[in-house]
Structure 1
Amino acid sequence: MADPTFHDFTALTIDGELRAMSEYRGRLVLVVNTATLCAFTPQLTGLQELHDRFSAHGFTVLGFPSDQFHQEPGTDEEIQEVCTSTFEVTFPLFSKIDVNGSSAHPLWQWMCAQKAGVIGGRIAWNFTKFLIDGEGKVLRRYAPPVPPGRIARRIESELGLRP
């Protein structure tokens, strides 16, 4: 059997619907663990800007809220309300998950195994970002402090928008 790719996983949307990551086959995807009470929460604005700027070219941001760092205590409904009303998020959001440990969502276990961070495979903090290519392979892992705007050049390059 072939090694798994991003497209082999599923996750519950914030609205409670099961979504296959294979729906994003052929698209460049930035997967981010989010939290609405984090010092990095303003990155939601930058993530939305990337989504707006590049979605027509085959790019999508996917937000996965997590309370493992105690900065996302709300329900899925409360999280969605903050993300949409305060930060005008329109990119897909998923149901709150764990990103570390034995209860971590299988997609996050897989991504961490593909690209370890500074502290190994664990997620260090909210707003860790994984760039996934159209074939479902992890291209790059970005640390939480990396602002979304700094990823724009790589997105342009991967989408063939740079000379």
Structure 2
Amino acid sequence: MLKTALTLSLLAAAATSSAQQPTGVVNPRPLVAATPAPASCPALLKQSFKRLQDEAPQDLCQYAGKVVLVVNTASYCGYTKQYEGLEKLYAKYSPRGLVVLGFPSNDFKQEAASTKEIADLCYNTYGVKFPMFAPTVVSGANANPLHAALAKQTGKEPKWNFTKYLIGRDGNVIAHYPSKVTPDDPDLLKQIEGAL
């Protein structure tokens, strides 16, 4: 008797449920959480540069939605040891969305003559894991498009090696730092933390 009552109760519930279905719907589609749309690429990052190790073209749009620290580097400069600090910064904050982009340049006559030599110094001497690009011009009339845009936005082009530009997730420049500002500078760290 109890078993029969339970069966009738279940059948009634099923009938009520199907009666509430809109006409013509056989198997309604289950609700699925919408996946977030990929970040659109800001104008500043709509550029491509050759990678240091193999000169394969790299679209900077892959860094859209991240906090980006752009640094012009050189192998034979008093500030070259900043590679260590930049790598520590990258290791600490990359899981939260920071990327450091290194652009070797001989604008100030302190970069190695060959790409192989630059790569050897970066990867073998300093253990750099953040993205590095092939040598480029970062200042003056022939500056690469990224550095030209950074100089235009900030009114400050690199005056020396290891000049830094911090770009927010929205693709706008947050701050410019001259060479003497080290990667562990409290103000730089505060700006990075705020942007992340």
Aligned partner of 1:132: which letter?
I
1:62 is paired with a residue of what secondary structure?
strand
Please state which structure has a larger fraction of its residues in helix.
2
Identity %: 38
With normalisation by structure 1, the TM-score equals 0.89
| 1:9 alignment partner AA | Q
* Match of residue 147, structure 1, among 182, 185, 192: 182
**Structure 1: stretches of 5+ with no match in the other structure:** none
User: In the TM superposition, what is the alpha-carbon distance from 1:101 to its structure 2 partner?
Assistant: 2.1
Deviates more, 1:44-53 or 1:11-20: 11-20
SS at match of 1:149: coil
Are the aligned partners of 1:46 and 1:147 in contact in 2 as well (CA < 8 Å)? yes
- The structure, 1 or 2, with the larger RCO (C-alpha pairs under 8 Å, 6+ apart) is 1
Give ranges in structure 2 of 5+ residues lacking alignment.
Answer: 1-41
TM-score between both structures, scaled by the size of structure 2: 0.75
CA deviation profile, 1:13-48 (whole Å, cap 9, x unmatched): 112111111100110010000001000001110000
Contact 1:31 1:62 in 2 (8 A): yes
Deviations 1:41-92 (A, max 9, x none): 0111000000000000001000000001000032111101101111110100
| Counterpart for residue 106 of structure 2 | 67
How far apart, CA to CA, are the structure 1 residues paired with 2:49 and 2:153? 18
Distance 1:125 1:116 in 2: 15
| Map of 1:111 onto structure 2 | 150
Instruction: Return the alpha-carbon distance in structure 1 between the equivalents of residues 170 and 115 of structure 2.
Output: 29
Q: Aligned-pair RMSD on alpha carbons?
A: 1.1
Contact 1:6 1:22 (8 Å CA) reproduced: no
Deviates more, 1:12-21 or 1:47-56: 12-21
SS of the counterpart of 2:165? strand
Structure whose alpha-carbon radius of gyration is higher: 2
1:135 aligns with 2:174: no
Which residue in the other structure is 2:127 paired with?
Answer: 88
Number of positions where the alignment pairs a residue of Structure 1 with one of Structure 2: 152
